[in-house]
Structure 1
Amino acid sequence: MKEITANGQTVNEAVEEALSQLKATRDEVEITILDEGKKGIFGIFGKKPANVRVKLIQDPVKEAHAFLSNVIKKMGIDAEIEIKQSGKVVNFQLTGDKMALLIGKRGQTLNSLQYLTQLVANRYSTYYIQIIIDAENYRERRKETLIQLASRLAQQVIRTSKTVSLEPMPSYERKIIHAALSEFHDIKTYSVGEEPNRHLVISLKAKAGSK
């Protein structure tokens, strides 16, 4: 139950009734007064109850956590989820058995979970939230792999003068490669395509004076 209407002798009573049913506090809801009601003559004749609509404000992080927990459970995996939030970035750290199944080949399952969880979070948020899901410190190990890959491919592009396109990856992984290759002055990197298939391209910079 996310939204209800409630009646009471006063607006305050109607609101309290709604809060009781929603099991929420005033800080967690939006209140719309539909009818302030009437006391009536002598408190009897023409008396009309107050009517309010109370809507639960859904926390994007809680909704994302609930979604992720449900998906993991349906996968038959028992995992603990630790949440750390810093500004607009929310980290979900997963621990437990069968983490390899959650990570998947080259992190594809983990990336898919992350992409879907981020969609859920931003559905309920008034500003953009970045979701990062990690398991068994995979993201740090992946970062090291990406930096090594970036360096190797940059040298390949310089040696062969041929453009290289990488596999689709999340935006923060593309940023890792962008940053790693910023010191290679002869090449440029840019992203192509739409999420979740957006990928990075590495190519030579055009030399000054060349057409």
Structure 2
Amino acid sequence: MADAQIFTGKNVEEAIAEGLRALGLNQAEAEIEIISRGSRGIFGLGSEPAQVRIRPRQASAAPQFEATTVSAPPSLEAPQQHDAGDRPPAVSNAESISQSLKAADVVFTTAEAEGAEEFEQAETVEPSSAEEEEQLAQLASELLGNVVRLMGFEARVVAEWREPDADNEQRYLLLDLHGKDLNPLIGRRGDTLNNLQYLVRLMVNQRLHRWKNIVVDVEGYRRRRMEHLSQLALRSAQQVAQTGRALALEPMPASERRIIHLTLRDHPDVITESSGEGERRKVHILPRKSA
């Protein structure tokens, strides 16, 4: 590859960022090839950096949306069967899938996809007709099904429009995956599932040029997680009310913290607040001061 250079980093995103910085390019001006996604190794041993090859995009090449396939990591070529409670193998696979999905943004992103964030961060969803909703459900289901199949899984996509709930402020399209041995698609605390959801939203939004609220789930995991968090919130609130001492929950993503806040919003004995930065941000449950 003429004029191409190889760059490394702890992960694909870091390697690409370093390469673009060194070459003075943005993603729309570069052709990026992922050589290796790297490896964390075992207990920090045998880790390998991610490698990418980058060169300036040829001026004669008209930018286009490259729907490059997402190849499954080697460890997922033949998914193994595990009991429902056998989480360690699933978590290991999930980390590999998560890295693939995060890298996928760059694999198929070109000049047309540079505006993805403005769709993802949109505050309102434009209303759609019943026909438009049906077409969107079909498009999103096909895209999700293709990605999952290319990752080495066999799954059926069940699409359903849902009204706002505790986890979504607006009407949304739920894509629920059903199949055998799909735990790796969930990942630790839903990390891989969230990456998969982001990928599907990005692909759909770039086709429509409009932000659509799409939620990806695996056999009702999000509903079960929401119920678990609500119960955790109520138990913790009862403990705080009885002891009079504040309680800090484990760090959670914003969507899960929101469930805790909403569950206890009208609780007579406690209030909630969040503190911390980034992945360490957590919810604190405190006794409600009497007037």
Match of 1:138 in 2: 221
Following superposition, the deviation at residue 123 of structure 1 comes to 4.8
Question: Separation in 2 of the partners of 1:2 and 1:70?
Answer: 20
Match of 1:99 in 2: 182
Q: Secondary structure at the match of 1:129?
A: coil
Residue 254 of structure 2 is aligned to residue 178 of structure 1: no
Q: Secondary structure at the match of 1:82?
A: strand
Give the direction of change, closer, same or farther, for the CA distance of 1:93–1:153 in structure 2 (3 Å limit).
same
Residue 278 of structure 2 is aligned to residue 202 of structure 1: no
Give the direction of change, closer, same or farther, for the CA distance of 1:121–1:103 in structure 2 (3 Å limit).
same
Question: Which amino acid in structure 1 is aligned with residue 160 of structure 2?
Answer: K
- Normalization by structure 2: what TM-score? 0.41
The root-mean-square deviation of aligned C-alpha atoms, in Å, is 3.7
Match of 1:162 in 2: 246
Following superposition, the deviation at residue 198 of structure 1 comes to 8.3
Residue 212 of structure 2 is aligned to residue 129 of structure 1: yes
Give the direction of change, closer, same or farther, for the CA distance of 1:183–1:208 in structure 2 (3 Å limit).
closer
Match of 1:75 in 2: 151
Question: Which amino acid in structure 1 is aligned with residue 286 of structure 2?
Answer: L
Question: Separation in 2 of the partners of 1:193 and 1:68?
Answer: 34
- Normalization by structure 1: what TM-score? 0.54
Q: Deviations over 1:41-89 (max 9, x none)?
A: xxxxxxxxxxxxxxxxxx8766654553343223211111122235741
Higher strand share: 1
Q: Deviations over 1:145-164 (max 9, x none)?
A: 11111112223444362341
Are the aligned partners of 2:240 and 2:285 in contact in 1 as well (CA < 8 Å)?
yes
Match of 2:161 in 1: 85
Which has the greater radius of gyration?
1
Question: Which amino acid in structure 1 is aligned with residue 289 of structure 2?
Answer: K
